[in-house]
Amino acid sequence: MGKKENDDQDRKKRFLKILEDKEEHLDRVISSEKTDPIGLLELQLKIAEELMAIERKLEGVKILQITKEEKAALKEAYQYDLKTFRILGDALAWMFVKPYSIRQHVKHSPFSKYLISQKRAFDSTVSSARHISEKYGEHVLINDLTNCLRIADLSVCRPGECRLIEVKSIENEEELTEKFIRHAERQIKRMEGFDKLHGDAAALEGDELRKTFDDYQTGNFILTRDGTKRTVSLSEQTTFAPELNDALKEVRKDDKDRFITFDGITGYLLNTVSEERIQRLISEGGVHPSKEQLAFMENAGSIASIDMFSRHADYPEIPPLPNLFGNEIATDLIFGDLMITTILNSNKMAGYLETRGIEVNTTSEKHFWKTHKYKIDGSTALLGYPLRHIIYAAHTTEYLANYCIESHESSKKFIEKILAENPGSKYIDVLGDSDDEDSPNTP
């Protein structure tokens, strides 16, 4: 085994060890409805150590006597490592922060500075988190250790809510420059605006919204939450992850490819990624679909086939792998030793959605895999977010249908409210008139 392989195995072991510590010292406590704020903080400090070690390696690339191309490849690999270890922070965030709030965080620019480059500031953040944890017994998340929490430095989490805290520290008055004050005021305004926009009394005017969040990644601003009570709780919708977890254990044990489907709509091709498997496939003349897979694909119309986890860290608005699978299975998937390929039968998916009153195009050039659009009662909307749950987080097609229906009902009530407040106004279904296939919600 070469040095790179040894390094990969060491990283994987350290990643798994933090997951196991999370399960032993935090998951069991939280599931019994007790609190362990110090345990949460200590776990995050282990994540921070890993991130800073990777950052030091990244900084060291500058002085290596290698080609420019080799440096670029090494930097890219280390950047991916940072994303990977921040998945551990995401796993903690998903224990405490509501999915709705996480989705709003992800609409903003990700954390870009290295922890080692802001050592004093990060130390102040950790000290503040420790103070809140020890004195007030609150669970505190350090946002910079995640891919998904992008506003403010800390999230103080209580049942049903998370409050944001921005931490600033100076050693002397000379540091209190006009530039420092302007920057701090802008960050505090963003933090307060985020709470105002996504809290219980969410309301922010359009101009103020754009001014406060200049990096907001969409032009479609929802200025008011209507408080619609959901008839279906999306967070309680089941995924196929538990069944897939059991099947993946068998794949790890006997190193045999498996195809599995639970509803005839979404299929999963499971396999290891090992040298032995590659050599076996070469000797057997490549991959041969099983009878079950061929039957699944028959009369499918079009097939969407996607490696479920090749870009999982790029979508922090969906549940992270450690929150879907067991520790060892999640780690193998994240480090590429196991693979799940999601295969979707378009015709069967469209047929099921039709039974729920949801129309998707499966035949013309405006096929829903290109446009990511659906219709309910003549109104058009985008399928991007719930489709990512199907593709990357093993959610059921029922989840997708419920999400579309609830989103439609919520939007309808919101539009009715706006029109009632602005007599004579008209609502234009922009999506319905658009031929643009390049959607920001593309899976």
Nearest to 349 by CA among 315, 308, 394, 387: 387
* Whole-number pLDDT of residue 33: 61
Q: Report which listed range, 156-165, 396-405, 411-420, is most confident.
A: 396-405
The domain ranges of the chain are 3-169, 177-225, 236-433
| pLDDT higher than threshold 80 for residue 419 | no
| pLDDT higher than threshold 90 for residue 407 | no
Over the stretch 265-322, which tens digit does the pLDDT of each residue have? 989 989 888 777 777 777 777 677 888 888 888 776 656 666 666 566 788 888 899 9
* Whole-number pLDDT of residue 423: 74
Q: What contacts 24+ positions apart, CB below 8 Å, involve 241-245?
A: 241/324, 241/325, 241/393, 241/394, 244/268, 244/270, 244/325, 244/340, 244/394, 245/324, 245/325, 245/326, 245/329
* Whole-number pLDDT of residue 204: 43
Least confident of 218-232, 236-250, 266-280: 218-232
| pLDDT higher than threshold 70 for residue 65 | yes
| pLDDT higher than threshold 80 for residue 430 | no
* Whole-number pLDDT of residue 228: 33
Over the stretch 14-50, which tens digit does the pLDDT of each residue have? 999 999 999 887 876 666 566 788 999 999 999 999 9
Asked if 23 contacts 36 with a C-beta cutoff of 8 angstroms, the reply is: no
Which one is predicted more confidently, 57 or 197? Answer: 57
| pLDDT higher than threshold 50 for residue 209 | no
Over the stretch 144-153, which tens digit does the pLDDT of each residue have? 999 999 888 9
Least confident of 142-146, 152-156, 343-347, 369-373: 369-373
Q: What contacts 24+ positions apart, CB below 8 Å, involve 110-119?
A: 110/147, 110/150, 111/143, 111/144, 111/146, 111/150, 114/52, 114/55, 114/58, 114/59, 115/48, 115/51, 115/52, 115/55, 115/144, 116/52, 116/55, 116/56, 116/59, 117/55
pTM, 2 dp:
0.81
In whole numbers, what is the pLDDT of the chain averaged over residues?
78
Which one is predicted more confidently, 443 or 382? Answer: 382
Torsion angles phi and psi, residue 142, rounded to 5:
-95, 105
Cα–Cα distance for residue pair 195/201, rounded to 1 Å: 9
Q: Report which listed range, 91-95, 288-292, 409-413, is most confident.
A: 91-95
Give me the numbers of helices (H) and strands (E) for the chain, helices first please.
17, 9
* Whole-number pLDDT of residue 235: 43
